[in-house]
Amino acid sequence: MGRPPLPIWKEFRTAVPAEEGKRRADMECRHCRTVVKNARPTNLLRHRVGCPGLTDDVRLRVEEADDRPAPAPAPIRQSAVAAGHSDEEETVVERPHASESRRPALGKRSRHENGDGGNLERLASQFTEKIAEVIECQRRELQLRREELEFQRESFATKMEDKRRAREEERQARREQREADRQERMDLARIENEKNLAFLKAVMESSGQQRK
């Protein structure tokens, strides 16, 4: 009974069978259809790290399967033949635990952590870019608002200046009208006085002629 296959082999299927004594099999990834030639566990693990078709949940499931200890095999009975012992005597020898014979690959956890760190860095970079875009958009909106307020201020100042000039012109026109009215009244009074003086002069001349 051979050793159980590593969990990583479950994520691949045989593309080209192995040749006896020459080469290993070529394995095709079940997620991205990439063929790993002369497949070894290290090659398969290396492909899994950068597999574009491997989702996060599947990656987590596979890594948990890698970390899970393999079931202990049944004890194997061996016939112990030694001097002074019967041929029928048997000794029970337990095979070492698979987890003891197969040490965890160095750097596996670090690759996982590095992957998480890379994801965090990528998310942080994307978040920073989004924040920068939002800030830039708000800055442009504020600049447009500032220009709009400046235009409104200039327009309001122009309107106020036009109103001030209109009021000044209106006051000037009223002053000129009052001056013209006053001059007209003075002219009328002068003419009326001249008429009265002429009438009195004519009356006086007529009275003088009658006395003579």
Compute CA distances 187 → 106, 182, 183, 195, 198, whole Å. 121, 9, 6, 12, 16
106-130 pLDDT, tens digit per residue, is 445 555 555 566 788 889 999 999 9
Residue 54 φ then ψ, to 5°: -90, 115
pLDDT reported for residue 8: 75
Residue spans of the domains in the chain: they are 1-70
pLDDT reported for residue 77: 46
- Name the average pLDDT for the chain: 77
5-57 pLDDT, tens digit per residue, is 677 788 888 888 887 766 788 889 988 989 888 878 888 888 888 888 777 77
pLDDT band of residue 67 (cuts 50, 70, 90) is low
Residue 84 φ then ψ, to 5°: 85, 0
141-184 pLDDT, tens digit per residue, is 999 999 999 999 999 999 999 999 999 999 999 999 999 999 99
Least Cα distance to 22 among 33, 37, 8 occurs for 37
> Is the pLDDT score of 87 beyond 60?
no
Q: Can you tell me which residue has the tokens 């969990």?
A: 7
Rounded to 10 deg, the angle between the 41-49 and 108-211 helix axes is 10
| Structure letter (DSSP) for residue 37 | T
Identity of the amino acid at 207: S
pLDDT reported for residue 157: 94
> Is the pLDDT score of 188 beyond 50?
yes
Compute CA distances 36 → 31, 41, 99, whole Å. 13, 11, 27
29-41 pLDDT, tens digit per residue, is 988 989 888 878 8
Residue 173, token pair as written in the block: 């026109």
